[in-house]
Amino acid sequence: MFVGHYAAALAARAAEPRAPLWSYVAACQLMDIGWAGLIMTGAEKFSVNPDLPGSPLELYHMPFTHSLPGAVAWSVGGALLARWILKTPWRASLFVGLAVFSHWVLDFLVHRPDLELWFGGDKVGLGWWNWPAPEATLEMGLVAAAGAVWAWRRAKTGLSVWPAATFLLILTGVQIVSSMMPMNPDPVRTGAMTLGVYLLVTAIAWLVERRPGRAA
């Protein structure tokens, strides 16, 4: 799952607007941001198997970012960073933490069994990646539903829905482009490209709400 993770950011933004959209966008992909850095160092590992249906990724070693204890740690860290650096209220900080943890929950739906329940323990995953069409429908459906809620929230408070529409359109384009690009087995290139994409989407989220006092 890639773009589908941003559904959690949009839903969180609608439910708790006191944290900026870009913080939720970064939060929902924080585990993968960490993963990108760790595969470049060799601390976590993956391989590419083009014979697999759907995603060709074999994520056979990622205990620090995608194990259940790891996900909890990243979620707590994200909430504390929002509180201490962004000075968000505790409720908004909690929503940032929940956005981080949503990544593990959504990965559980689509990943093949590669998510450790504890360090070195059993691995789980429902494997929707093996059915590309339903998986893609799930991703885009989640994003569309969450985006509609955010747009409704903006309209209810008298704000333009164009930021929501623009961001959803950009996410759709990112999904299309990413689905057409082959996966590179080189960890440094894959990690760098992954980081670049996540930082770009985060920057776009900041841009669509760049005017102070106008976000909701």
Whole-number pLDDT of residue 216? 57
- From first to last of its 216 residues, the chain has per-residue pLDDT tens of 789 999 999 999 999 999 999 999 999 999 999 999 999 999 999 999 999 998 999 999 999 999 999 999 999 999 999 999 999 999 999 999 999 999 999 999 999 999 999 999 999 999 999 999 999 999 999 999 999 999 999 999 888 888 889 999 999 998 888 888 888 999 999 999 999 999 999 999 999 988 544 445
Cβ-contact 75, 93 below 8 angstroms:
no
Q: Judge residue 49's burial from the number of C-beta atoms within 10 Å of its C-beta, 0-12 exposed, 13-18 middle, 19 or more buried.
A: exposed
For 202, the domain range is: 3-208
Q: Is residue 204 part of a domain?
A: yes
Structurally, how many domains does the chain consist of? 1
Q: Is residue 213 part of a domain?
A: no
- Closest CA relative to residue 55, chosen from 11, 93, 119, 4: 4
Q: Is residue 216 part of a domain?
A: no
- The model's pTM: 0.94
Q: Which position has the token pair 């908004």? A: 92
Q: Which position has the token pair 């590992």? A: 45
Whole-number pLDDT of residue 175? 87
Whole-number pLDDT of residue 215? 47
Whole-number pLDDT of residue 211? 58
Please tell me the distance from the alpha carbon of residue 124 to that of residue 102, in angstroms, as a whole number: 16
Whole-number pLDDT of residue 178? 84
**Element (DSSP H or E) covering residue 114:** none
Q: Is residue 214 part of a domain?
A: no
For the beta carbon of residue 206, count every other beta carbon within 10 angstroms: 15
Q: Is residue 39 part of a domain?
A: yes
Please tell me the distance from the alpha carbon of residue 71 to that of residue 54, in angstroms, as a whole number: 24
List all residues 6 or more positions away from 18 whose beta carbon is below 8 Å from its beta carbon. Answer: 88, 89, 91, 92
Please tell me the distance from the alpha carbon of residue 153 to that of residue 204, in angstroms, as a whole number: 20
